Structure 1
Amino acid sequence: MKHERQQAQARWGNATRHKGSDLPYFKTNTGSQIYYEHHGRQGPAVLLLHGLASSSRSWRKLSRALQGDYQVYALDFPGHGQSDRWEQYTFYGLSELIKVFMRACGIPKATLVGVSLSCSVALLFAIRYPHKVSGLILAGPLGGYLPAGNPFSWPDRLVFKILPIALQLSVFLLGHHATAYWLNTFGVKRKRTFKSLESIQSQVDMKAVRQLLWQSANSPYVGHLQAVRVNVLIILGQQDPMPRRFVRYIQTHLPHVRLIEIPDSRHLIAMEKPTEFNRLVLDFLSQTLKKQPAASF
């Protein structure tokens, strides 16, 4: 863990916004270009983190709901959407990327909204840089929490190791469309949402999917959640097929947390129930954001 942290800090020490392009992106000191969207001109900052095999496009409805009162930022993680690919993907690398992104955009502090595996990135960032976080909203968080030596950890390790292999094999044998179809049945109930999901999922580096899923067998925040001192809202679909014990672990170990379940919804709540999800996000922001001293970089 310490080695991963040092690698991330060495690789992404600085970044600058690039102004010579029609597309909004910032460039890291290694030359990687990271695409992002910025909506709203005033108010506290809200940073939207998309899930695995997704992109900033998945947050369009929430961005529209927030931009009147908040400055909304949504970036494409490396290997997703319009951002460059990396050779190696780690949760520590992504948390460091958020730090340099906030520095490049002049964001001293933000509320982070994560979904699925990006909840791990949000939690890790809050643990590493607590002075830069105003609050956390976690939609359908998942990830193993038992150490590798624990005999009960093998189901999680087996699932997170085999799943990316199964996905790549399915794409090879059945094609992208058929693979996206069966995969999205876990995320949403309504088939009318499948088309928009599939278009987002076509812009992904399968290496990112494979490496991040492998690391999720033992999530990077395990053993450190007590360090998260801000208010946390967990939003869960009542019919989410993912194991509830992942959420229970996070809920049990966070000092200030509230769990709300949305009926008739599965894993990707923000896309399946945008009206309900957006209302919960707005309520959380209005209730928890207060004037706080600016963070120093």
Structure 2
Amino acid sequence: MMRSLVKRIWHCKGLLPKVRIFLWKVVRAILPVDQIFVKRMRKQQQGCPICGYHSEDVVHALFKCQQARCIWLSSSMGIRTDSLPENIVQLMGELTTAADDHVFTKLANILWCYWKDRCTQVYEGKTVKWHQVLAQASGLEKLMSLAQLTMSTPTIQGDEDITNSEYVCYVDGSWVNQFDQGAGMSYVLLSKTNRLIQYRMTAIQAFSPLHAEVLAVKAAVNAIKLGNFMPCIIFTDCRILQAVITGLETVDSVEWQVYRDMLDVLSLISGCQNVSCKFIQREGNLLADGLAKHAREKGVNMLGYTYPIM
């Protein structure tokens, strides 16, 4: 069973590489939990730092802890973990044997997001909220499905600037109503070989669709500048924004609520070398568009980086 589980982990196309590696550590029972510290580092047994249970192994940390039980029961799969086997290989086999790739991916993403947030709670004291864990897992699933769709579309060609650029960044904002559903923004930073450098999707407060787009570009330029990801071309499907950045329109042409953030964007871009902005049709911006909508609808705040999409 171990061999079949490992084989499925490495061949599942819907998982980010970091999730694959994490899942491999899960089935091998080598995550840094209390039992591992006691066995390998000869530390005194501390028990579960979340619920206080006397012994913390991988099964307890990810499935049997009170906090984990709440998350699994609240998920769309509605799993009751109290009756699952105590052996991690048997447990994973029971959950995944009859599951298709979609369910397998969902389960893996929930495991990863919960473990990440659990570590944040243990080492930084931040409270884990079940709905945030499930929203983040849904965001990872959305990212991969959109990434596969985007990578199947032809790349933009025929522009010398694009050919010479080392990085490309797709940005988008999603806005419905500032009083009802708020807004979301996202950016996806890729190398010219389609390697994912960084992505972000965040629920925001924006006055208009243009404001959401401007905030997305502002966040993207900050990330580009901080990581020195240049030369870089930023793609936006907002013509007004692209026109202001490239000087075809004056900053006075934007809404007054957006004016200050627009000035910040222009200042940031002027302080970067080899950062330009180009317009792209919505059909070519599906990845950023989908993530921005997901952030708005689910209230997600996620930042990921340095992992290849495919």
Q: If the length of structure 1 is used for normalisation, what is the TM-score?
A: 0.26
> Which of the two has higher C-alpha Rg?
2
